[in-house]
Structure 1
């Protein structure tokens, strides 16, 4: 079994999928992880990413922070081009539609995500890019 702290990137996704989340669902600082599958906007190939998430009114929230870099993560660009995604939470894999939280929704959703990963607030101070909260709704 791999330590949750060690899991990151592709190895995190691989262990999560191999074990239906037994390894990788619980991650750093008490966070929980889902796997987001997007379609590559240039390649058309499926891409997978381990992301911190929270459930919110029957939807799932993720944050497109990329640590506060000026450019958004590739997965965000992919779902912006094609919002039809797949999500896996533990052993449950399902189709979903992705959208960016509206200006009215975002403050509360952001606060919920900062509760589980306080660094999001710091990431926002590092970039002029408005870091989006992405809402994943089961299809």
Structure 2
């Protein structure tokens, strides 16, 4: 993604094709630059998560911001505070085995959705690191799920 690319997450959620195009650009830039990207994700810790489509059975690559909390890798299914979860959440709930890429490293992993109590205790730590995730939670009535990614 170029430094000048700007987007509104609400617009992207409504336009699946635009979201897919942005995600492909982020994935390409991530892989070309050893896990570093510019634009709105510059300086963020990104993980590429390859899941298996719950309906299609096809591999799906999602570039996601991750949070290291107490040595754990956490990802949040915020979808910008949309009332529905992103597709990758449904994929993880159907199949927890994933492929993860962080920087130049690629590894097999497993995703575990945190139970509500554990999620509720850790979500404020995510918000400390990225305050917009507090705004996302405030926009929706669903509890934004947290997943822990662990090496297989």
Which TM-score band (shorter chain)?
A: 0.7 to 0.9
TM-score (norm 2): 0.79
**1:95 equivalent in structure 2:** 108
**2:128 equivalent in structure 1:** 115
Paired residue secondary structure (1:50): strand
Shift of 1:44: 1.2
Asked whether the 8 Å contact 1:53–1:113 carries over to 2, the reply is no
Residue 21 (structure 1) aligned with residue 45 (structure 2): no
2-structure distance, mates of 1:76, 1:5: 26
- What's the CA shift string for 1:48-73, capped at 9, x where partnerless? 11111122344310100001111100
**1:61 equivalent in structure 2:** 74
Distance 1:89 1:4, change over 3 A: farther
Paired residue secondary structure (1:42): coil
Asked whether the 8 Å contact 1:68–1:124 carries over to 2, the reply is yes
| Larger helix percent | 2
Paired residue secondary structure (1:17): helix
2-structure distance, mates of 1:114, 1:5: 25
Asked whether the 8 Å contact 1:64–1:131 carries over to 2, the reply is yes
**1:11 equivalent in structure 2:** 25
TM-score (norm 1): 0.86
Shift of 1:31: 2.3
Alpha carbon RMSD of aligned pairs, Å?
2.3
Gaps of 5+ in 1: none
Match of 1:79 among 80, 87, 92: 92
**1:127 equivalent in structure 2:** 140
Distance 1:23 1:127, change over 3 A: closer
Shift of 1:34: 1.0
